């Protein structure tokens, strides 16, 4: 039981770390702070720009944090487990 709690705590602290880096990346890219990375904002990052079409799953022309995390590129950048 104790072991399980430690495992849960470790998982929780790891996922909050991943979220923090996700937020940091979004903040860095999201110049106007609307919570999305638009194509114009993605221009700053060539890799992101190249992957933009793949990451923008609903094709609304902007990347949400959820779309970023769901993408291979996002997981790589944010060092999330696949
Ligand atoms: Ca934005
Ligand atoms: Ca989108």
Query: Could you please report the per-residue DSSP string of 8-54?
Result: HHHHHHHHHHHHHHHHHHHHHH-TT-SSEEEHHHHTT-HHHHHHHHH
pTM, rounded to two decimals: 0.71
What CATH class does 2-77 carry? mainly alpha
For the beta carbon of residue 42, count every other beta carbon within 10 angstroms.
21
Cα-to-centroid distance, 35 and ligand 2 (Å):
11
Q: Closest-lying ligand to the alpha carbon of 61?
A: 2
In this prediction, residue 55 carries a pLDDT of 97
pLDDT of residue 50 exceeding 90: yes
Question: Which residues hold their Cβ within 5 A of ligand 2, which is an ion?
Answer: 56, 58, 60
Measured CA to CA, the distance from residue 62 to residue 76 in angstroms comes to 19
Higher pLDDT, 21 or 69: 69
Cα-to-centroid distance, 38 and ligand 1 (Å):
6
Domain ranges of the chain: 2-77
In this structure, of 2-11, 16-25, 31-40, 63-72, the range with the lowest mean pLDDT score is 2-11
Q: What is the mean pLDDT of the chain?
A: 84
Q: Which of 32, 76, 61, 24 is nearest to 52 (CA)?
A: 61
Residue that is written with structure tokens 């991943």 in the block: 18
pLDDT of residue 23 exceeding 60: yes
């Amino acid at each position: 039981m104790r072991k399980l709690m430690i495992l849960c705590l470790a998982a929780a602290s790891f996922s909050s770390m991943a979220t923090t880096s996700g937020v940091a990346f979004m903040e860095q890219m999201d110049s106007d702070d609307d919570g999305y990375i638009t194509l114009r904002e993605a221009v700053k990052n060539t890799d992101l720009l190249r992957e933009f079409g793949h990451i923008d799953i609903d094709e609304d022309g902007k990347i949400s944090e959820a779309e970023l995390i769901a993408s291979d590129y996002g997981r790589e950048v944010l060092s999330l487990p696949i």
